[in-house]
Amino acid sequence: RRSVHEAALDLAEAVLDRELRPGPDGARALLDRVLATPADLGVHTVRLHPADLAEVRALLGAGRHTLPAGVTLVGDSTVRPGGAVSEHPTGFLDAQVDTALDRARRALLEDEA
């Protein structure tokens, strides 16, 4: 029997999959999320899915967004569409939706046990 938590997480995942569709709006939201990391990280690399990287570069090229100094974007096919992984000198930040949902799922299901 499925719990309310499992059903809620499945619904959240379905909504996020729909909202994280490719295109300029998705790329803008992705870039905003990635750049919301603390400014004191300094120089770092942000890995994006190659399709997302193309959309983000189009936004940057059109002057609709800017990157802070020291931030490098790279394509990585292991990153899921709509997600990003930011690597910096002291560690990394996995900003992929799947990773966040997995953490939430584990936390909620541990509380039920």
Q: What is the DSSP string of 6-56?
A: HHHHHHHHHHHHHHT-SSHHHHHHHHHHHTTS-GGG-SEEEEE-HHHHHHH
pLDDT per residue as tens, the chain (113 positions): 567 767 776 766 666 665 556 566 677 777 777 777 666 666 689 999 999 999 899 989 999 888 888 889 999 999 988 888 888 888 888 877 777 777 777 877 776 66
What's CA 54's distance to the chain center, in Å? Answer: 15
* Domains within the chain, CATH numbers bracketed: 4-112 (3.30.2320.30)
List, in sequence order, every residue forming a beta bridge with 21; answer none if it has no partner. none
